[in-house]
Amino acid sequence: MKIVRWMGGMVWVAALAACSGQEQAPQAAVPVLVVHPGEQAGQAPAAFPGTVRARQESPLSFRVGGHLVKRHVDAGQRVKKGDVLAELDVADFALQAR
């Protein structure tokens, strides 16, 4: 029974502490610096190194180079042995063969 009274008293004290009538003063506005990107007088243009990669990459490749004409399957699709996955433009290969 003592524990219940103790817990009830703690809840009552917490409720009274939360109901204090003091309002906090509004905070003053903080000035900020705004910079618009672009070339400014007296400054060299900024260059940042990076790597550009394709959204979809395949670890597989063709034995010959060329432009991909058509892709017959999508990522995650089941295939069987002998299925055609993609087609290459034959013009490049024909020029190399000559």
As given in the structure block, the two tokens for residue 22 are 């003091």
What's the predicted TM-score (pTM) here?
A: 0.33
Residue 86 · residue 72 · CB < 8 Å: yes
Mean pLDDT, residues 74-87 = 89
According to DSSP H, which parts of the chain are helical?
2-18, 90-97
Q: What would the pLDDT profile of 20-70 be if each residue is shown by its tens digit?
A: 666 777 888 889 888 777 777 777 777 889 998 888 877 777 677 778 889
Question: How far is residue 84's CA from residue 73's CA, in Å, rounded to a whole number?
Answer: 8
What CA–CA distance (Å, rounded) separates 97 from 78? 33
Domain borders along the chain are 65-98
35, 16 contact by CB (below 8 A): no
